[in-house]
Amino acid sequence: MDFAAARKVMLDTQVRVNDVTDRDLQAAIGAVERERFCAADRAFSAYADVEPEIAGERRLMLPRDVAKLLQGVDARAGETALAVAGPYAAAVLARLGLKVTAQESDAAVFEVAGAALAEAGVETVVAPLTQPQGEGYDLIVSEGAVTERPEAWLTALRPGGRLAVVERKGASGTAVLYVRGREGVSRRELFDAAPDLLTEMVPAPAFAL
């Protein structure tokens, strides 16, 4: 399979046509080999309009969605970033010139994507997704969805830092951008999306008498 040709088709038919106008981001997406971030037997679907499996329950976000999410967070070269359950997004951010840490709770994800992340200069860490590693990040992104505002992730941002994630409680969800201020957090909705929920980020059911 000609992955380079498939990557160009993905850019032309799924990214650019969906209002992803940032040319640096387009170039970064065009340079990152997405097929290296999914299970070997799913590499053929890396550039299709699907969410191919990485390992276990983890899947790649749709090309259109991850592109719009990264454009929404307005990444800038020289910034620090944490990609939670988002190895492909981590590599794209690194290509944009950011210092990136990729965090996963399932080490099997890095068995698939670890070599590509190392080549991209991305630091990897295995830890529960509920416990972001490090602090003072300029931005945090995730290719998975959460059911509610992830307070621990927001705490790991510096003042002025941004968090882009999909919030989903049913069949559909909404990508949102949070900005941490010195006295509070602002929230703005970006676009509709429905990636898989990160099961670790789903609160345990509460029982009431």
pLDDT value, residue 207:
56
pLDDT value, residue 204:
72
pLDDT value, residue 208:
52
Give me the tens of pLDDT residue by residue for the chain, a chain 209 residues long: 899 999 999 999 999 999 999 999 999 999 999 999 999 999 999 999 999 999 998 999 999 999 999 999 999 999 999 999 999 999 999 999 999 999 999 999 999 999 999 999 999 999 999 999 999 999 999 999 999 999 999 999 999 999 999 999 888 999 999 999 988 999 999 999 999 999 999 887 655 55
**Alpha carbon distances (Å) from 194 to 10, 100, 143:** 19, 25, 10
**Alpha carbon distances (Å) from 146 to 42, 84, 160:** 25, 11, 22
**Alpha carbon distances (Å) from 171 to 119, 141, 195, 197:** 36, 21, 10, 10
pLDDT tens by residue, 46-104: 999 999 999 998 999 999 999 999 999 999 999 999 999 999 999 999 999 999 999 99
pTM for the full model? 0.94
Cβ within 8 Å of residue 161, ≥6 positions away: 136, 137, 138, 139, 140, 179, 180
Which domains does the chain show, CATH number per domain? 3-200 (3.40.50.150)
CA distance 192 to 145: 12
DSSP string covering 169-186, please?
SSS-EEEEEEEE-SS-EE
Q: For residue 11, how many other CB atoms are within 10 A of its CB?
A: 19
